[in-house]
């Protein structure tokens, strides 16, 4: 269904100079709003809905490669939608919805209103050519980086579920005042199940959780191997540099590179740390400045992986050790956040200048390189 809302009458022979499409994307349909600007500066608007099953048949034919722009908010299916249309228009743009403040400036909100606001904002951004207009465009990574991101998301889910299974088993033993080792699901479980304090229901639940735990551990390892395979093939040179930092594993450097893809797209280390959600919020007014928590806009995956090896990072860097000692009176979470941010800055300049880590531990680094070469040989054999 298409409704034409012409702002002025347009002759059939008048040429369209540029087209701007705002898209509100859902799993079953897209709502689009189009602004066509003619050679005389007249704007013609159209709006409609198309089933997502008919994007190729009904939406793509509406696009053209010359001066045709499409904007859509980031969501779980946005990157796939972008891959379908990017070759059929001048540019397909993905924006961060949480940063797109204009979408929340009114209490009235429908799919059509959202699509219209997106199209209006897109036209302003393209035609004004103002680099400081705060347009929250999302970087679209290459296909291999996207694969890694998806695998890492599932990997983290597996880790979370494994931890939950462990905690549930420990809770059952604890409810009967039975002390067990942390790794009871890996060693000595059957012996512990002989304890007379456990009833039949306890034993059934624990054995069920053990089965889930073993399955998830195997699947976690399968996903980890896939991440290493794709990541080492895509980011081999960068991994060789970044793993020089004690505490940065191969998988940690892959996660970082999947988030960043290339440091060349960041003008400064500050922009990189902001993108990786490691910069605190600042509210300044007059002579008052308030420092808040970490800004949640951006990608936080790298931050979580860096935290896992933070103690090794600090122990392998004299500067970080002195920094922690100087700020020992501050809250530990703030100190951790500051060191993660400093680590990101270090990684930025290592990649930008192609420099090895200043505090390189050769024995640890050699072990990591051997591990990476083993992964490379496995990839070559599979090929």
Where does residue 232 rank: exposed (0-12), middle (13-18), buried (19+ CB within 10 A)? buried
pLDDT of residue 382: 84
CA–CA distance, 380 with 383 (Å, rounded to integer): 5
Residue 103 scores a pLDDT above 80: no
Residue 10 scores a pLDDT above 60: no
pLDDT of residue 13: 56
* Percent share of the chain, pLDDT over 70: 89
- Name the CA dihedral angle for 361, 363, 369, 374, rounded to a multiple of 10 degrees: -160
CA–CA distance, 294 with 282 (Å, rounded to integer): 9
Residue 214 scores a pLDDT above 80: yes
The answer to whether 70 and 63 are in contact (CB under 8 A) is yes
The number of angstroms, rounded, from the C-alpha of 262 to the middle of its chain's C-alpha atoms is: 14
Q: Strand order in 43-51's β-sheet?
A: 2-6, 43-51, 29-38, 16-25, 68-73, 91-95
Residue 292 scores a pLDDT above 70: no
Ranges of each domain in the chain: 2-128, 143-210, 236-382
DSSP, residue by residue, 42-95: -EEEEEEEEEGGGIIIIIGGG--SSSEEEEEE--TTHHHHHHHHGGGSSEEEEE
Average pLDDT of span 101-117:
75
pLDDT of residue 284: 42
Read off the pLDDT of residues 229-252 as tens digits, 9 standing for 90 and up: 999 999 999 999 999 999 999 999
Residue 295 scores a pLDDT above 90: no
Given pLDDT bands bounded at 50, 70 and 90, which one contains residue 14? confident
Q: Which tops the pLDDT comparison, 67 or 285?
A: 67
Residue 191 scores a pLDDT above 90: yes
Q: Considering the domain 2-128 in this protein, what is its CATH number?
A: 3.30.420
Given pLDDT bands bounded at 50, 70 and 90, which one contains residue 172? very high
Average pLDDT of span 175-202:
94
- Give the containing element (helix H, strand E) for 203: helix 200-234
Half-sphere exposure of 84 (CA within 13 A, CB side): 16
CA–CA distance, 337 with 324 (Å, rounded to integer): 11
Read off the pLDDT of residues 39-53 as tens digits, 9 standing for 90 and up: 888 899 999 999 999
Q: Which residues contact 267 (CB under 8 A, 6 or more apart)?
A: none
Q: What is the pTM of this model?
A: 0.84
Residue 289 scores a pLDDT above 70: no
Pull the structure tokens for residue 65: 């490669």
Average pLDDT of span 187-191:
93
Q: How is residue 8 annotated by DSSP?
A: S
The answer to whether 263 and 352 are in contact (CB under 8 A) is yes
Residue 288 scores a pLDDT above 50: no
Tokens 């500050």 belong to residue: 270
CA–CA distance, 270 with 349 (Å, rounded to integer): 11
The answer to whether 35 and 119 are in contact (CB under 8 A) is yes
Q: Which tops the pLDDT comparison, 100 or 162?
A: 162
Read off the pLDDT of residues 138-163 as tens digits, 9 standing for 90 and up: 889 999 999 999 999 999 999 999 99
CA–CA distance, 225 with 238 (Å, rounded to integer): 18
Phi, psi values for residue 180, rounded to 5° = -130, 160
Straight-line distance from the first to the last Cα atom of the chain, in angstroms, rounded to the nearest whole number:
49
pLDDT of residue 6: 43
């Amino acid at each position: 269904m298409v409704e034409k809302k012409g702002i002025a009458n347009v002759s059939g022979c008048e040429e369209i100079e540029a087209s701007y499409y705002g898209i509100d994307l859902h799993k079953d349909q897209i709502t689009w709003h189009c602004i066509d600007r003619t050679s005389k500066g007249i704007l013609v608007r159209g709006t409609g809905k198309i089933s997502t099953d008919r994007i190729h048949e009904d939406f793509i034919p509406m696009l053209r490669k010359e001066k045709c722009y499409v904007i859509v908010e980031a969501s779980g299916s946005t990157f796939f939608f972008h891959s379908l249309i990017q070759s059929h228009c001048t540019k397909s743009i993905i924006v961060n919805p949480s940063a797109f403040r204009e979408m929340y400036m009114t209490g009235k909100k429908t799919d059509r209103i959202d699509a219209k606001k997106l199209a209006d904002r897109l036209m302003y951004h393209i035609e004004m050519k103002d680099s400081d207009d705060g347009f929250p465009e999302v970087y679209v990574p290459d296909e291999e980086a996207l694969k890694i991101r998806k695998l890492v998301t599932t990997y983290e889910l597996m880790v979370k579920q494994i931890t939950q299974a462990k905690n549930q088993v420990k809770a059952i033993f604890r409810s009967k005042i039975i002390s067990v080792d942390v790794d009871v699901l890996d060693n000595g479980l059957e012996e512990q199940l002989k304890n007379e304090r456990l009833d039949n229901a306890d034993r059934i639940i624990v054995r069920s959780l053990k089965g889930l735990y073993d399955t998830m551990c195997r699947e976690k390892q399968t996903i980890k191997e896939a991440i290493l395979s794709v990541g080492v093939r895509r980011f081999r040179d960068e991994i060789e540099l970044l793993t020089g930092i004690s505490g940065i594993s191969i998988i940690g450097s892959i996660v970082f590179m999947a988030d960043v893809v290339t440091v060349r797209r960041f003008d400064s280390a500050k922009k990189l740390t902001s993108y990786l959600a490691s910069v605190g919020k600042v509210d300044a007014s007059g002579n008052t400045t308030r420092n808040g928590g970490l800004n949640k806009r951006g990608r936080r995956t790298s931050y979580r992986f860096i935290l896992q090896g933070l103690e090794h990072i600090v122990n392998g860097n004299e500067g970080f050790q002195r920094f922690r000692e100087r700020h020992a009176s501050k809250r530990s979470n703030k100190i951790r956040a500051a060191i993660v941010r400093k680590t990101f800055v270090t990684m930025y300049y290592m990649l930008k200048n192609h420099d090895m880590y200043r505090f390189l531990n050769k024995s640890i680094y050699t072990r990591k390189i051997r591990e990476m070469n083993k992964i490379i040989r496995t990839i070559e054999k599979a090929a």
